[in-house]
Chain A
């Protein structure tokens, strides 16, 4: 890990007096990926990338530069190029804005280490899982097993005195199965099996350790095979806890990112207003959530701000946005460390971390029993948001509810709504939370995020066939 220790010397040596604020970040990323499709090894890749970048502020404008090398010459080059870029913009636009208000300096050194494993370990594990599925369920139309293990390591220095050395390891495997229906269609389901914040060997040692999850997924697929399409239109739904993270991230989260607020999102005119039922609370957690480590902890953001929780909705009232240094100064609030960059060639932008609707007090069984005619939606494939608050989630598994009891399974469908309207219809929240830690958010750059929530009873628009 000695590859970064000279950064502090370099920033002192090469940072330019013309700059009003300078950040320099060195980063490396290791990733392994193995994918078996129908037993064929279609992906067997190892990637290693890294480099250094600098960002310089001048009178309200930023210059940024990166190089895929890490040595004294590349550090000097990116510092000079970032400074020149900031000066170019300042010369062209002369905004004359005041110096940026930096957060109090922070020092953070990780205690984590990343224990890499050989590619063979991943291949053998995936092959054994694939063989289990193939042997036990020979009638499947297709099967895929995909293992991902990697780590991003970052070292950040700012000229305001912040230093952070952080590791972001993440490991998981996904299985997907498809089955042919009686009418010749194909239905499909996937699940993320185990894994989390750490290296492969911390989560997986026996390919048979999660066969209960594989068996459960198969059972659901068989139900879906006989499934029906929901009746299109507005209806009572219980959004399952595995889907609720989408509510937190897509339906609400993006609209309360301060850069989108400044671009005119629906949240701009709703601060300190009732946007949800009083039982709804929502937080973007930094590193600890509900007394436990958050699924993807972030301790210092890429502007050098110490990370704290961003409270977004409290008792149904929109109380805050997610900010970077500039937007926090604009709104006159304390930044909570939401400025994150994905790759070494990416500049920090406002991103979510571990965003969740907080659990309530209800039991899932009581929630289902309270629905006369509606749906229980248990799995999602994807989701998209709009600055208006209008959201859409693809739903790949669910059940109808008739007279308070679960009925037939559903085929693929979509739900949509307007976040601040839908949240006002929430009248029950389950008392448990489920996290999805394997997601990527796309917003100029990709970003690892986690999202979570309890089962939510509300009204949404559901698509039919």
Chain B
């Protein structure tokens, strides 16, 4: 870490010498070891040694940014010069800034000293467990990796953070097969720190494979109806990420195209709905400790009891709009669970669809969306009737959040998000 700190100091000096008024840098170094399984068989062991320096300078109110993947002084000198030249070519903007000094800190998260043999054996055991417990599942790909990294963020305001983290992660892509019949592919990932755990016992692994096998026999829905879409946690994550991009991110707030641009403090969702950034939650693995801007990361409510509390703005966008910088830039989100079990929630749905993956176009700026409900099931009279194919759903993200039918008590934790099943009404479902 001391070597990296010295490099960060060198970078700041190089930027100042090149003419920067203010400068910020992040210097990192790390390693990844990755087992690849393709078409159900081990194929590759990959070791990657990474390093990088990102630089940001302000000169005469103008901003430039550079990234290189070398820690060599001659490369840093050249990049520093280019970074300042980029700033000089830029245009001044009072909103450009680097992080202010608050409190410096050192962070360390995750596991250390990985054992390659143990990890390999766990991955091989996972593959064997899939074959034994779920014989219809064909593994298209598994990427199992151990990553470790150290980084230093420093700037000319005196900010200095060090971070050290390491964790395992396993991502699986798979489908179920019966003769010539095949389900859609599905996937999930789990981040974790304890190599002694059986991978099949973590997250929703077992449930995901079982549900995929249940998708065999899927058929298109006939006709079109308006009903309930019950989003499984993995799919909810992608829908809510889209909500945040479309309604709360820098570009839509700065441009003023977000339908929520004036909605802070007002009701944007059902009162049962609370959405929070949770990178410090115990169930999150190696969550964000320092924001992209260079501040200590803090968890915060985006929506609390249906009321919009905050956008997800960078410091630049906050200064540009006169709004507040988000306390975290993490994508780790949590939705407060409900008080009804998933089985009861399904019982309450007269006509709808359990959506486990959504393959859709980029939603319109106003939140209109449409796409294919993948790995999904038709719900009728309170029971799961059959798996569906070639079925589309459409609706509006903003309207959907105001029409929450129910939230499950059960939550899914994959190491990055903690999410329940959430049912939304008013969704158009159309068959092939």
Comparing A2-10, A80-88, A282-290, A313-321, the segment that makes contact with chain B is A80-88
B392 within 8 A of A: yes
Q: Does the CB pair A46–B362 fall under 8 Å? A: no
| CA distance in complex: A411, B116 (Å) | 52
CB interface residues, B 48-95, toward A, < 8 Å: 48-52, 63-70, 72, 75, 79, 82-83, 85-91, 93, 95
CB interface residues, B 9-65, toward A, < 8 Å: 38-40, 42-52, 63-65
Q: Does the CB pair A68–B49 fall under 8 Å? A: yes
B432 within 8 A of A: yes
B5 within 8 A of A: no
List residues of chain A with CB within 8 A of the CB of B257: 141-142, 178, 186, 188
Q: Does the CB pair A387–B184 fall under 8 Å? A: yes
| CA distance in complex: A86, B43 (Å) | 10
| Chain B min CB distance to A218 (Å) | 16
| Chain B min CB distance to A360 (Å) | 26
| CA distance in complex: A381, B370 (Å) | 13
B272 within 8 A of A: no
Contact of A85 among B45, B91, B365 (CB under 8 A): B45
B412 within 8 A of A: no
| Chain A min CB distance to B270 (Å) | 21
Q: Does the CB pair B362–A232 fall under 8 Å? A: no
Q: Does the CB pair B364–A411 fall under 8 Å? A: yes
| CA distance in complex: A185, B397 (Å) | 13
B208 within 8 A of A: no
B256 within 8 A of A: yes
| CA distance in complex: A124, B86 (Å) | 12
A274 within 8 A of B: no
A187 within 8 A of B: yes
Q: Does the CB pair B361–A392 fall under 8 Å? A: yes
Task: Return the CB mask of B230-262 against A: 1 if under 8 Å, else 0.
Answer: 000000000000000000001100111101000
CB interface residues, A 377-416, toward B, < 8 Å: 381-382, 384, 386-388, 390, 392-396, 411-414, 416
List residues of chain B with CB within 8 A of the CB of A61: 42-45
| Chain A min CB distance to B215 (Å) | 10
| CA distance in complex: A199, B48 (Å) | 30
Contact of A186 among B66, B67, B138, B366 (CB under 8 A): B366
List residues of chain B with CB within 8 A of the CB of A266: 182
Q: Does the CB pair B254–A37 fall under 8 Å? A: yes
List residues of chain A with CB within 8 A of the CB of B364: 185-188, 411-412
B359 within 8 A of A: yes
A49, A51, A262, A263: residue with the most chain B Cβ atoms closer than 10 Å: A263
List residues of chain B with CB within 8 A of the CB of A13: none
How many pairs of A and B residues are in contact by the CB < 8 Å rule?
257
List residues of chain B with CB within 8 A of the CB of A44: 63-65, 86-87, 89-90
List residues of chain B with CB within 8 A of the CB of A232: 224, 392, 394, 428, 430
A278 within 8 A of B: no
A272 within 8 A of B: no
A162 within 8 A of B: no
Q: Does the CB pair B63–A41 fall under 8 Å? A: yes
| CA distance in complex: A386, B174 (Å) | 11
Q: Does the CB pair B371–A392 fall under 8 Å? A: yes
Q: Does the CB pair B46–A347 fall under 8 Å? A: yes
| CA distance in complex: A82, B34 (Å) | 12
| CA distance in complex: A381, B338 (Å) | 36
Q: Does the CB pair A269–B255 fall under 8 Å? A: no
Would A464 and B45 be within 8 Å (CB), given that A44-B87, A92-B120, A387-B140 are in contact?
A: no
List residues of chain B with CB within 8 A of the CB of A417: 390
List residues of chain B with CB within 8 A of the CB of A345: 48, 50
B82, B141, B371, B372: residue with the most chain A Cβ atoms closer than 10 Å: B372
B207 within 8 A of A: no
Q: Does the CB pair B64–A119 fall under 8 Å? A: yes
Residue of A with least CB distance to B49 = A67
Residue of B with least CB distance to A127 = B91
B298 within 8 A of A: no
B329 within 8 A of A: no
Contact of B430 among A41, A43, A463 (CB under 8 A): A463
Task: Return the CB mask of A45-78 against B: 1 if under 8 Å, else 0.
Answer: 1111111000000000111111111000000010
| CA distance in complex: A124, B38 (Å) | 47
| CA distance in complex: A263, B95 (Å) | 50
List residues of chain A with CB within 8 A of the CB of B256: 141-142
Q: Does the CB pair B45–A45 fall under 8 Å? A: no
| CA distance in complex: A124, B90 (Å) | 9
| CA distance in complex: A77, B177 (Å) | 43
Q: Does the CB pair A49–B67 fall under 8 Å? A: yes
| CA distance in complex: A382, B242 (Å) | 14
Q: Does the CB pair A463–B374 fall under 8 Å? A: no
CB interface residues, B 110-129, toward A, < 8 Å: 116, 120, 124
| Chain B min CB distance to A361 (Å) | 30
Contact of B184 among A142, A347, A388 (CB under 8 A): A388
List residues of chain B with CB within 8 A of the CB of A396: 361-362
List residues of chain B with CB within 8 A of the CB of A37: 251, 254-255
List residues of chain A with CB within 8 A of the CB of B363: 412
Q: Does the CB pair B366–A185 fall under 8 Å? A: yes
Contact of A47 among B45, B66, B185, B255 (CB under 8 A): B66
Q: Does the CB pair B43–A62 fall under 8 Å? A: yes
Q: Does the CB pair B372–A264 fall under 8 Å? A: no
| Chain B min CB distance to A400 (Å) | 16
Q: Does the CB pair B46–A65 fall under 8 Å? A: yes
Q: Does the CB pair A390–B365 fall under 8 Å? A: no
Task: Return the CB mask of A221-262 against B: 1 if under 8 Å, else 0.
Answer: 000000000001110000000000000000000000001101
List residues of chain B with CB within 8 A of the CB of A387: 140, 175, 182, 184-185
Residue of B with least CB distance to A92 = B120
Q: Does the CB pair B180–A178 fall under 8 Å? A: no
Q: Does the CB pair B85–A119 fall under 8 Å? A: yes
Q: Does the CB pair B46–A64 fall under 8 Å? A: yes
B143 within 8 A of A: yes
A329 within 8 A of B: no
| CA distance in complex: A37, B91 (Å) | 13
Would A264 and B182 be within 8 Å (CB), given that A93-B42, A345-B48, A392-B371 are in contact?
A: yes
A-B CB contact pairs (8 Å), 24 listed = A43-B65, A46-B86, A48-B75, A49-B67, A63-B44, A68-B69, A88-B45, A93-B42, A120-B88, A141-B255, A232-B394, A232-B430, A263-B38, A269-B180, A386-B184, A386-B359, A387-B140, A387-B175, A392-B359, A396-B362, A412-B364, A444-B141, A464-B224, A465-B428
Give residues in B with beta carbon < 8 Å to A.
Answer: 38-40, 42-52, 63-70, 72, 75, 79, 82-83, 85-91, 93, 95, 116, 120, 124, 138-141, 143, 175, 177, 180, 182-185, 224, 250-251, 254-257, 259, 316, 320, 359-366, 368, 370-372, 374, 389-390, 392, 394, 428, 430, 432
11 more A-B contacts (CB under 8 A) besides A40-B254, A48-B68, A127-B91? A41-B63, A41-B90, A44-B86, A46-B66, A118-B89, A144-B251, A178-B255, A232-B430, A264-B138, A393-B361, A444-B141
